[in-house]
Amino acid sequence: MTTFELTYNPFTKEKNFLVDGKQDSFDECWGVDNRELSEWCSVFYERLYKKYNDSEMTIKFKGILRDYEFLEDARDHYKEINPSAKVELIDGGCANTNQKLGELKDLFEKMQNETPFEQLKSEELKDLFDKVVSSEFEMAVVATMSSGKSTLINAMLGRELLPARNEATTATLAKIHDVDGADHFTGKSYDKDHNELASIDPLLLSNMDELNDNPETSVIEIHGDIVGIESKDLQLVLTDTPGPNNSRTDEHKAHTYSLLTADYKPMILYVLNGTQLETNDDNSLLNDVAKAMNSGGRQAQERFIFVLNKADEFDPAKGEDVPKKIQDVRNYLEKHNIHNARIFPAASRMAKVIRQYQNQQPITETEEDDILPKYKTFIKREWKHFSDFAPLSPSAKKLQDEMIASAKGNNDEYQEALIYTGIPAIELAISEYLTKYALPAKITEGVYSFKEKIDNLGVEAKEKEKLKDNQANVEKLAKTLDEIEAVLKKGDKAEAVRAKIDGLSIEDDLKQRFETISSNLMGQITQQTQRMMNSRMSRDAAEANTSTLRTFIPEVEAKFRVDTENALNNVLKSQAQDAVEEYKKYLTDLIGSVSYEIPPAAILGDTASISVASTLNAYSHTEDVKVGSHQEKEAGFWGGVKRFFTFGHAGYVTVNDYEKQEFVDFKNYLDKEIMPSIEESVNSTRKFAFEYAAREERNFKDFFKEQLGKLDEAIAQKLSERKKSLESKESFEKMIEENKKNLSWLNNFKKDLDSLLAI
């Protein structure tokens, strides 16, 4: 048996790998390009066996819990394929990341206040860091009809804020920004073009009714404390989405779909009516959920929470026990290819009323007389201990048990009953997801926003340190600086990189992506309309098909638009990556063209640092239009086919003279009205997408070449400063003394950073 020890730090992507206690390299698995563990863990065990030829393996892993679970999944999959293999995975100690993001923010602020390097105090660097660590993490709540979605959200808020209407009447998008510790809520409403309509402080239920009733209202932005979720250091946004068929605008449909396909995998709470599962309203959405969940990995599964609401309305005497109802939901979801769903039974109405009572929020007479007094039944009736049925992890289950023990110890029956409603279990699952996935991602992005600059400044400082008491090195450096300056002034290498930037093209990539997207769209439409291709259809059947298409067309239009915007974003990001690589090659070539072999950072310091994130962040300030935000309403599907829904065009309705029954040539409708309009819309979207991409490509190339000019100036200035420091003994000694202090600060800062990121 071979024993392996793997330590993996997700924040620095550093790895330490031991085989039977001896250091080893395993680039055959993770390569040399600093990929994350989630990208290579699927081949980890297979390549272990291939390299070390042992079917009995023990792997001791040290890292964070999320990555340990990724390795668990990979191990289970490997053993399914290789049942005779004996593979043991041992938890060698997984770090807690709860406080690290806040500590990183504090350390970055300290760096800006105390660093001797002006480059680390720049507004550009601060802007980039703030953007990556403070960007919002969204959690959407979607629901079937009459599921009690608003009541569930109000339970999490601890007050009555969202109108508890039938979902069919809730057509606006409400985005609740969590502000821990806030004692009240504020709100602003916007129309579809994001023009502000109203601003209310404090925001109450009555105000929400007014905002919702305004037909111009598209989005309501709310700020306040989501009391059940601790989101310290994270900009959590809870989004209350309209029902699948009740979006006031097409943007609402697109928003939900964009969350399903987002790279950062936001959470989705899918609320189901426990007393009425089967509904046709959410078939399409559940199919999209299935695709997202089956995209691979534990995170794709854990980001979805299915809430079996109104569980307290079950009647065990009629065989409606909780395990059976959970199985009913599981069977229902599996019809949509959703497997291993996490299903949480809950009684959100009781949870809401208890929390309102605890928080001294007003409750109605009905709630006071008929609902609140029944809290004792949640303690008395064990089948109402919905917390027992929550599919929590062992650590979250332990926290829940501690909460129950604390409530009992304090004789707080209201708190005990609240836990049994199942709502706190959902909140624990949400908090755990944020800790496991959202926080590490923010920490990693935050570190990489400035780490390369720190590393390159360190390389430069150490190279300067080598000059002390070493005249040969000083003379060699002086010669090197002259040679680099001459190459820089000549400018041929700079022109060469500009030519390469000019030669970059995204057209082929975008064309390939768009063809895939449009083919998928047409396939969906063909599949939907196949059974409608009838030249002799009854009027009732035609009306039913019309109703189906009235729902279906806007849905696929929204998905098509999101997919197209994602494609545009991806090809532009890919171009930025290519441009950055060309710049890095330019620096290497610039320094490598002289006789003195040395890394670019040794001479250029932080000037050698450039990243895709910083490039796109800087570029985003130069444009008024965000990538993919432009829309042409009349050119969209809805505009192209809206005349179809005014049913009964002349020339397409025929009457049977014998039996006086009315029939519709629906195939003719589809062939002459729907399909041409859709094809026209696809072509229009394609034309716009390629024109937009070409315009953005030109703008980006101009921007990047301008940045190259500024970087060349910065390089020239850096060379001049280095040369001046060598001109006299006094300036040289001053440089050495300053560098000593700088190197000391860098070493201390790196120790603080390493300590913060340690696992």
In tens, the pLDDT along 64-93 reads: 988 998 999 999 999 999 999 999 999 998
Which of 387-419 are b and which e, b meaning 16 or more Cβ less than 10 Å from the residue's Cβ?
bbbbbbeeebbebbeebbeebeeeeeebbbbbb
Which secondary-structure segment (H or E) carries 350? helix 348-358
Residue 250 has pLDDT above 70, yes or no: no
Residue 647 has pLDDT above 60, yes or no: no
pLDDT of residue 690: 87
DSSP character at residue 608? G
CA 311/CA 317 separation, integer angstroms: 14
Angle between helix 394-409 and helix 423-433 axes, rounded to 10 deg: 140
Residue 135 has pLDDT above 60, yes or no: yes
Higher pLDDT, 55 or 400: 400
pLDDT of residue 263: 80
CA 331/CA 622 separation, integer angstroms: 51
Residue 465 has pLDDT above 70, yes or no: yes
pLDDT of residue 190: 92
Mean of pLDDT values over 112-117:
92
> Range with the lowest mean pLDDT among 46-50, 443-447, 700-704?
700-704
C-alpha 103: how far from chain center? 22
Percent of the chain surpassing pLDDT 70: 88
Structure tokens that stand for 567 in this block: 């494609």
pLDDT of residue 592: 59
Higher pLDDT, 181 or 643: 181
pLDDT of residue 524: 86
**Torsion, CA 106, CA 111, CA 112, CA 118, rounded to 10:** -170
How many Cα atoms occupy the beta-carbon half-sphere of 55 within 13 Å?
7
Please report which confidence band the pLDDT of residue 376 belongs to, taking 50, 70 and 90 as the band edges. very high
> Range with the lowest mean pLDDT among 31-45, 98-112, 603-617, 734-748?
603-617
Helix (H, G, I), strand (E, B) or coil at 86: strand
CA 130/CA 136 separation, integer angstroms: 11
pLDDT of residue 251: 66
Residue 713 has pLDDT above 60, yes or no: yes
- Pick from 92, 328, 415: nearest CA to 306: 328
Q: What is the radius of gyration, based on Cα positions, of the chain? A: 31
Mean predicted lDDT score pLDDT of the chain: 84
pLDDT of residue 283: 77
* Selection from 37-41, 172-176, 357-361 with the highest mean pLDDT: 357-361
pLDDT of residue 246: 54
pLDDT of residue 313: 93
pLDDT of residue 632: 35
> Range with the lowest mean pLDDT among 55-59, 415-419, 479-483, 742-746?
479-483
pLDDT digits (tens, 9 = 90+) for 283-326: 778 888 998 888 867 888 899 999 999 999 999 988 889 999 99
pLDDT of residue 280: 58
pLDDT of residue 599: 56
Place of tokens 């000083």: 474
User: Is the distance from CB of 426 to CB of 386 less than 8 angstroms?
Assistant: no
pLDDT of residue 384: 97
Percent of the chain surpassing pLDDT 90: 37
Mean of pLDDT values over 727-735:
89
What global pTM score does this model have?
A: 0.81
pLDDT of residue 418: 97
Place of tokens 């007003």: 362
* Selection from 227-231, 242-246, 260-264, 313-317 with the highest mean pLDDT: 313-317
Q: What angle do CA 17, 18, 22 make, to 5 degrees?
A: 140
Mean of pLDDT values over 90-114:
89
Mean of pLDDT values over 38-48:
91
pLDDT digits (tens, 9 = 90+) for 594-623: 444 445 555 555 665 666 566 656 665 433
pLDDT of residue 644: 37
Please report which confidence band the pLDDT of residue 636 belongs to, taking 50, 70 and 90 as the band edges. very low
Place of tokens 């046709």: 280
pLDDT digits (tens, 9 = 90+) for 651-670: 344 444 445 567 788 888 88
pLDDT digits (tens, 9 = 90+) for 541-589: 888 888 888 778 878 888 888 888 888 888 888 888 888 888 878 877 7
Residue 127 has pLDDT above 50, yes or no: yes
User: Is the distance from CB of 232 to CB of 169 less than 8 angstroms?
Assistant: no
pLDDT of residue 475: 85
CA 290/CA 278 separation, integer angstroms: 17
